[in-house]
Structure formats: C-alpha cells, structure tokens
Amino acid sequence: MTVHRCPALLVAAPASGAGKTTVTAALARRHRDRGGHVRVFKAGPDFLDPMILEQASGTPVYNLDLWMGGRDHCRALLHEAAGRADLILVEGVMGLFDGEPSSADLALELGLPVLAVIDGSAMAQSFGAVAQGLACYRPGISLTGVLANRLAGEAHYRMVADSLPPGLPARGWLPRDEGLGLPARHLGLFQPADIADCDARIARAAALLHEAPAPPPAVAFPPPGGAGIPRRLAGVRIAVARDAAFSFIYPANLDLLRALGAELAFFSPLADTDLPRAHALYLPGGYPELHLSRLAANEAMKRAVRDFHAGGGPVVAECGGMLYLLEALADSAGHSAAMAGVLPGTATVQERLANLGLHRVPLPEGELRGHTYHHSRMQCGLQPLIHSVAARHHGTPEPVYRAGRLTASYVHLYFPSNPEAAAGLFMPGGAAAECRRPLRAAETTP
C-alpha cells in the first residue's frame, strides 16, 4: 500500500471551553467553501462535537483514541482519509496535555503538527506566556502557531500577537461574538438538529476568521499493519436504532459491523411502529430523556422490542439504549414515562454527573473497550453479569447486565477494539430470529 501525504493539523487548547470546536468547524467550512476536500477527526470519545464538525465539513467525523482503538486503528483511519482529502483537521480533547492518552500523545504518536487555540478575551501579554508554555512543556510537540479566540478587535489581536515568543507565529483570530458560540446541555453541545441556526453559526465563524492560518505542512500517513477482518457476521442483518433519541453511534462501529459482513437496517424508536426484519438489534445511546412522551406513546415499537428479546434475538444496548429497555425513565424535572419493560428497573436523569471515563468490559465473548458518560441513576432488579474496569485508578466500575441474549450497560462500546468480541455479541444462535415485515429500502441507507 502507498504512503499518503496530506496537510494536517491537530487543533488543541490549554483547557476545555477555549473554542476548539468553533475554530475547527470554521477552518473546515472555510476550506470546504473554497473547493477543498477536508476530513475532520475528533480526539477521544465524543459524539456531539463530531456532529457539529460533520455539519461543517460535509463528511463523517471519526474518533481517534489511542486507548480505545489503538495505534494501528488510528493510523488506518488517517491513511484512508489522506488518500482522499487535501486537508486533515483533528480537534483535540480537553487541554493539550490533559488525560491519558492526551491530545499531545496523539500528536506525537501520529506525527501531527499542533495549532493552539487560546481564549484571549481576558488577556494581554500573558497570552504569550501561555503559548510558550504549550510549546515547551513537552519535548517533541510541534506547535506551528497560535490562533487567538474571543478578541475585542484588531488592536487586541496585535497586542496578543506581539506577546508571542520568537519562532511561534500568530495564525489568526476570531472576535468575541455571541453568534459564534454553540449552545450546550448536560452531556455537552446540542445536536445540530436542535440548533436552528447551526449552519449559519458555522458559516459566520468561517467568515469572521481573520488572517486564517497558512496551509499546514504535509504529514506522511503510512499504510496500517494488522490482519484483515474476518466476515463472521456474513448474512446477519442488524437493526440499528438511529433518530433524535438514539444518535450516539461511532461511525467506526458501523464500519466494523459491515466489515464483519453484516447488513445494517436503520429504524426509529420514535417514529416507526415495528422493527425491520433482523437477526440482531443494536440500541445505542442518546437522549431518550428528551423524548419521553413519544417513546412512551409508541406502544407498538415497545412491544416489538420486547417480542424480539423474548424470541432469543441478540440485543446490544448502550447507555440511553439501556434506559429505553427499563420499565420507566424519569427526566431531571421528575417527569416519568413507561419504557419498553425488557429490564426490571427504573432510572432518573439528574443534574449531577454520575460517571465519566474510559472502561474495559471483560465479556465472555472477549474484552471490549469504551467509555461512559452519564447523568442518570439506575435501579435494576437483575444481578450484573460483570462490572467494567475503569482505566483510571479511582474510576467507578459500571454494571453490565445480561438477560438471555441481551447485553446492556452504561458503557458505549468501541467495536474496533475487539472485532471478534463485537461479532460474538451480534451472532444469532441457532435459527435466525427475524421480525415480520419485509425490509424497507430506506432502512439500509448509510
């Protein structure tokens, strides 16, 4: 295979909240509007930032995580992108050096130059000190420049730019403008569909990007190593929930299932009244608590899910997908609604964070990796099959439930971390369990 070369940048910051997503989206939209082909990635586990970045770039946004996916998987994603794009942007996670693995780890491992985004709204000459700290804190980091965010104007930009040390250039700025911010809720940013002017905000950010960075240096992305994916799910059709309530799906998970040979049939627990014909069912996470009334009122879908599980079909339910299977779910205001009733128990969404972190899940099918991030508390009448193992020393394990062929947990699994184990979760046992009606053409759209 050929080594692909493509200009690339990792967009990082000293801390969360500096505007990495806004800047990355603006850079992507600006390049796209000029006729370029940009591919954008998000460092670490995240679902919401990639949705915004996909809106900006017009292409699917994949996650790069050295712990969940591994180095070879990350290299494979970048190699594929570099063969098609003329610019690669990677939005970092948290501060440049925060976490294990950090954005800095990713930059060093994959040879990515770094553009630092610094919120200069309350700074003058200290801007240069922060920038120098980012450049010098860890040997090997290639900081190619600094972009100033939330400035008062041109004079403010000249002040912070003049504070930068020699050899560290200013790479443009964005003004302080409420029209550029992206609204957030308890799990992070809103989904683009929930922001009426999302595209206009992205376009405005691209238009207001003063002195946009020069094209970054080309990076060599060698072909990945490793064995091919065995087609263990050839002939297996998997029904995948995907709508406004269930949208937290890693694109790499869907790619992996297809590479294993599976056919994917998408459906909406909000709008559809039956499952597509399928051998297995995948209920990913999302915001079911924002759609309690519609989910509760769709008795036909809840009955179809119960019947599928009772018939012995494999079911994988993650976080919000698991909450949908409970007897009842209450939102943070105390409004409760009846859910599918596959799992005995209830859950309540709260304002306070309940758990966050990377986790290993040592299932009988094999160990999978993933992450957890939720504000709900759950009471379940089943004894857990196992508990996850937090990557952090003091992390809180998550219970993993198994009832028949159902596997349910708060952990969002990253299937490429162990393709064999992922295949085992969805493999039908004995005769294929299928629902009643024929597959609709729209259900197999990507």
291 and 217 fall within a common domain? no
User: Is residue 353 a part of any domain in this protein?
Assistant: yes
Last residue of a domain, one of 191, 221, 251: 221
User: Is residue 231 a part of any domain in this protein?
Assistant: no
280 and 352 fall within a common domain? yes
CATH of the domain at 405: 3.40.50.880
123 and 188 fall within a common domain? yes
Per-residue pLDDT of the chain (446 residues; tens, 9 = 90+): 799 999 999 999 999 999 999 999 999 999 999 999 999 999 999 999 999 999 999 999 999 999 999 999 999 999 999 999 999 999 999 999 999 999 999 999 999 999 999 999 999 999 999 999 999 999 999 999 999 999 999 999 999 999 999 999 999 999 998 777 766 545 555 677 767 788 999 999 999 999 877 789 899 999 987 778 999 999 999 999 999 999 999 999 999 999 999 999 999 999 999 999 999 999 999 999 999 999 999 999 999 999 999 999 999 999 999 999 999 999 999 999 999 999 999 999 999 999 999 999 999 999 999 999 999 999 999 999 999 999 998 899 999 999 999 999 999 999 999 999 999 999 998 433 343 333 344 444 44
130 and 272 fall within a common domain? no
User: Is residue 139 a part of any domain in this protein?
Assistant: yes
Show the domain range for 96.
4-221
210 and 295 fall within a common domain? no
Residue 224: predicted pLDDT: 85
191 and 127 fall within a common domain? yes
414 and 375 fall within a common domain? yes
User: Is residue 230 a part of any domain in this protein?
Assistant: no
User: Is residue 229 a part of any domain in this protein?
Assistant: no
183 and 319 fall within a common domain? no
Residues 259-272 pLDDT 10s: 999 999 999 999 99
Q: Is 198 a catalytic residue?
A: no
Mapped to the 3 state alphabet, what secondary structure does the chain carry?
CCCEEEEEEEEECCCCCCCHHHHHHHHHHHHHHCCCCEEEEEECCCCHHHHHHHHHHCCCCEEECCCCCCHHHHHHHHHHHHCCCCEEEEECCCCCCCCCCCHHHHHHHHCCCEEEEEECCCCCCHHHHHHHHHHHCCCCCCEEEEEEEEECCHHHHHHHHHCCCCCCCEEEEEECCHHHCCCEECCEECCHHHCCCHHHHHHHHHHCCECCCCCCCEEEECCCCCCCCCCCCCCCEEEEECCCCCCECCHHHHHHHHHCCCEEEEECCCCCCCCCCCCEEEECECCHHHHHHHHHHCHHHHHHHHHHHHCCCCEEEECHHHHHCCCEEECCCCCEEECCCCCCEEEEECCCCCEEEEEEEEECCEEEEEEEEECEEEEECCCCCEECEECCCCCCCCEEEEECCEEEECCEEEHHHCHHHHHHHHCCCCCCCCCCCCCCHHHHCC
14 and 72 fall within a common domain? yes
Residues 142-199 pLDDT 10s: 999 999 999 999 999 999 999 999 999 999 999 998 777 766 545 555 677 767 788 9
198, 319, 380, 435: the catalytic one is: 319
CATH of the domain at 177: 3.40.50.300
User: Is residue 215 a part of any domain in this protein?
Assistant: yes
